Amino acid sequence: MAMPSPVTEELLDYTTSCALPTPWAQFTLHAFVEHATGKEHLAMTLGEIGNGAPVLARVHSECLTGDVLFSQRCDCGAQLEGALKRIAEEGRGILLYLRQEGRGIGLVNKMRAYRLQEAGADTVEANLALGFHADARNYELCQPMFAHFGIRALRLMTNNPRKIDAMEKLGVSVSERVPLLVNRNAFNNSYLNTKEAKLGHMMTPLAEPVAQDGEL
């Protein structure tokens, strides 16, 4: 298994890599440590990604409730799985897993936001009511992580135009946007509609049938 050479960047350090077998392919898992916070960020890679050709990529922000606990309140877990499946199908790609839970507000505050949503607020109103930005994520770590693998251009799996703009501002070209519309259901339908209406996400409200009466 080929390992990238360790590098030190201004924002983070590469630490180590290992094999990571998954149901879809055997990826290589790479760990980075952020200087400012000590947070451990991850990259999952497959195939030859440093040859200059645009790389199928996903920049995924941590969502413990969706990625690990199977929450249906969002589409995060399904997006994570869908992105890994697509990379496996192509045999080449990268997924960055950034530790910025709850669009950057943290797990406990995300739970507080959920409580406000249960009282009638939408996902944007809840974050603002808690004193946060609607989306507090920061993507500056992506540039040194992609640079570590020699990646300069992406075929980015996202519905979020702000993420595309962030990559371009960092000098990482997005040659193609690959939509990632998955797992619309009765529990997250309003949430997804709010992301489209208030955060500009590029998604069709009825891209998938909406379950009724709490059915998944």
- Structure tokens given for 38: 């000590």
3-state helix, strand, coil in the chain (%, to 5): 30, 25, 45
137 catalytic? Reply is yes
* Annotated catalytic residue within 135, 155, 165, 177: 135
* Annotated catalytic residue within 137, 152, 155, 165: 137
78, 83, 89, 91: CA torsion to nearest 10: -150
Closest CA to 158 of 182, 186, 125: 182
Q: How many CA atoms lie within 13 A of 131 on its CB side?
A: 2
Residues classed as catalytic: 135, 137
